[in-house]
Amino acid sequence: MKRAMLLVLVTLGCLLHAASVLAAQSRAAQLYDRHCAACHGAEGDGQGPAAYLLSPKPRDFTSGTYKFRSTPSGSPPTDADLLRTVQRGIPGTPMPMWDRLSETDQVALVSYVKSFSDIFEDEDAMEPVIEITSPPAVSEASIRAGEKIYEEMKCADCHGLGGKGDGPSSPTLKDDMGRPIRPYDFTRGPGLMKGGASQQDIYRTFVTGLDGTPMPGYEDSMNEIERWQLVNYVQSLSANQGATLTATTPTLQALQAETDPSIDQDDPIWQRAPATTVPTRPLWARAAWVDAVKVQAIVGPGEIAYRFEWRDPQMDEQIVRQRQFRDAVAIQFVPEGSPGDYMGIPFIGMGDEESTVTILHWKADWEADIAGGFRVAEEQNESAINQMTAGTDLSTDRAFLAGLAAGNPLSERSRVTPVETLVAKGFGTLTSPPKAEQVVKGRGMWRDGVWTVVIHQPLDSALAPRLQQGESLPVAVAVWDGAADDRDGQKSVSQWLELVVE
């Protein structure tokens, strides 16, 4: 009797385990279809509908070739290797962090990705992981020794004498698919190294190489001491340079305020609002991009206001000549979304058929157009404006009043606001709602190589999020650098973030 009962329990346990595995696989397939297939393709071949917008191109999982591994060159990666890429993303590329997925979902996604290639079928034939010992102490002597190794191994041919990725071979480099590929610019900063920036991460890259690229492995051509010395030299090239970005997706904390902030970027209320550095990644690889944006948010009684700040050495506010592009910033949100529900949040690229996203897009050329047009209007309508502002707060938007005083948008070329409200439900669906719904205000200022932009959205507008204290909203940030030819889908973007009202 006991044997029969034990057999029943074992069988029941096996059935429950099998059902749990099937449920995890089904959820992984749904997560992949909603958030991964647009880039990597429904069949895992890297041919998703968004692939043409991206550089480097999405990984073709069916090829079985992976750059980031802890196994020897030419060997499949381990589950831990794939999990690390899912969790961390790949800095400087369109591949985001998925650290906010549950560990169960992350593991299930790894299993699903492996199903696209037969290289994982014979697990027993997998090469062992390359062991990495603790790094020795860094010293000036080890850095100088690493510099000599850098020269002897001809690293400068690709990465350049100063490590800027501008070596004589760099213009001709291609990946295994024949597509141009950029050698890494070590001076960009430690937080942007694709395989990881720790000493162990860089050491692992030197040993394993990056399969599918011209970067070889140095397991046989350098001994352990020499590899650590080279690590120290490479890290010295990027020490204290570039952005120090978080290893996890940050959370935005919005201040609940009793009054609405003015449109002034320097309004003292912003000193009370928490500031979060949001890492961004370029959808199209280039030598320089906006890698971080400082974001603040305030929810007042009548408006939600956002403040963005990012470094940009050149102000681009005109589109006059061919190949001339503007600077811009946008925030995208899902009005009814829940940040922790990745089955409910749509694909980050303009949403999808199941969910609409709202986008507030500030444009530097619109700002310049308004400034030019309203300067004329203010001169012509000073008396009317003074009457309107009599007895009001000095923060009143005089530019907006100039438009009213002029009786219309002042002229055919002038605008009332530099911010456009947009909605989308996937690629090719971006639309601008009717003029009556274009009620968002904004103002931008460039000074000393930094853009500061404030956007205000009335909470009673049809497209505004419904946010109360303690509630949260999924949001994402995008920024365009006109000097880098950014426009349309060529931009730097964040992952979905959680905006929480304090």
For residue 378, pLDDT over 50 is answered with no
Cis? peptide before 96, omega within 30° of 0:
no
Better pLDDT: 478 or 373: 478
> Do residues 357 and 257 share a domain?
yes
CATH of the domain at 488: 2.60.40.1190
> Do residues 119 and 268 share a domain?
no
Tell me the per-residue pLDDT of 392-423, one tens digit each, with 9 for 90 and over. Answer: 444 444 544 454 454 444 333 457 899 999 99
Structure token digits, residue 501: 């009202």
pLDDT average, residue stretch 152-157? 96
For residue 133, pLDDT over 60 is answered with yes
The pLDDT of residue 414 is: 52
> Do residues 65 and 25 share a domain?
yes
The pLDDT of residue 127 is: 85
Determine, yes or no, domain membership for 410. Answer: no
Better pLDDT: 276 or 344: 276
491 closest CA partner among 363, 373, 366, 388: 363
Under a CB-based contact definition with an 8 Å cutoff, are residues 377 and 405 in contact? yes
> Do residues 320 and 259 share a domain?
yes
The pLDDT of residue 409 is: 41
Tell me the per-residue pLDDT of 23-42, one tens digit each, with 9 for 90 and over. Answer: 778 999 999 999 999 999 99
The pLDDT of residue 354 is: 86
288 closest CA partner among 306, 313, 323, 307: 313
Please name the residues in contact with 268: beta carbons below 8 A apart, sequence gap of 6 or more.
none
Domain that holds residue 65: 20-125
The pLDDT of residue 19 is: 56
Tell me the per-residue pLDDT of 94-103, one tens digit each, with 9 for 90 and over. Answer: 999 999 999 9
Determine, yes or no, domain membership for 384. Answer: no
Determine, yes or no, domain membership for 389. Answer: no
> Do residues 309 and 333 share a domain?
yes
The pLDDT of residue 222 is: 93
Under a CB-based contact definition with an 8 Å cutoff, are residues 229 and 149 in contact? yes
Element (H, E) at 145: helix 140-152
Q: Which residue has the tokens 């000599």?
A: 148
The pLDDT of residue 3 is: 62
> Do residues 30 and 119 share a domain?
yes
CA distance 109 to 115: 10
For residue 389, pLDDT over 60 is answered with no
Query: Helix, strand, or coil here: 479?
Result: strand
Tell me the per-residue pLDDT of 310-350, one tens digit each, with 9 for 90 and over. Answer: 999 999 987 655 556 899 999 999 988 788 888 889 999 98
Tell me the per-residue pLDDT of 480-493, one tens digit each, with 9 for 90 and over. Answer: 999 999 998 899 99
Determine, yes or no, domain membership for 12. Answer: no
481 closest CA partner among 471, 493, 472: 493
CA distance 46 to 311: 33
> Do residues 297 and 422 share a domain?
yes
> Do residues 347 and 434 share a domain?
yes
CA distance 429 to 228: 51
The pLDDT of residue 253 is: 95
The pLDDT of residue 335 is: 85
CA distance 364 to 377: 20
Under a CB-based contact definition with an 8 Å cutoff, are residues 325 and 286 in contact? no
Residue ending a domain, choose from 213, 238, 263:
238
Determine, yes or no, domain membership for 132. Answer: no
For residue 468, pLDDT over 90 is answered with no
The pLDDT of residue 353 is: 86
The pLDDT of residue 160 is: 95
Determine, yes or no, domain membership for 133. Answer: no
CATH of the domain at 166: 1.10.760.10
Lowest mean pLDDT among 130-144, 169-183, 303-317, 378-392: 378-392
> Do residues 226 and 255 share a domain?
no
> Do residues 34 and 106 share a domain?
yes
Q: What is the mean pLDDT of the chain?
A: 86
- Strands (E) in 46-129, as ranges, are none
Residue ending a domain, choose from 84, 100, 125:
125
Bridge pairing between strands 328-333 and 357-363: antiparallel
> Do residues 286 and 419 share a domain?
yes
Q: How far is CA 303 from the centre of its chain?
A: 26
Determine, yes or no, domain membership for 180. Answer: yes
Under a CB-based contact definition with an 8 Å cutoff, are residues 346 and 334 in contact? yes
pLDDT average, residue stretch 187-195? 78
pLDDT average, residue stretch 153-165? 95
C-alpha pair distances (Å), 253 with each of 25, 177, 276, 318 = 34, 43, 8, 34
The pTM of this model reads: 0.84
> Do residues 28 and 108 share a domain?
yes
Maximum Cα interatomic distance, the chain, rounded to a whole number of Å: 99
Residue ending a domain, choose from 238, 269, 302:
238
Q: Domains in the chain: how many in total?
A: 3
Under a CB-based contact definition with an 8 Å cutoff, are residues 300 and 468 in contact? no
- H-state helical runs in 47-139: 79-88, 103-114
pLDDT bin (cut points 50, 70, 90) of residue 15 is very low
Determine, yes or no, domain membership for 393. Answer: no
Question: Residue 184 carries which DSSP code?
Answer: P
The angle at the Cα of 277, spanning 272 to 283, to the nearest 5 degrees, equals 145
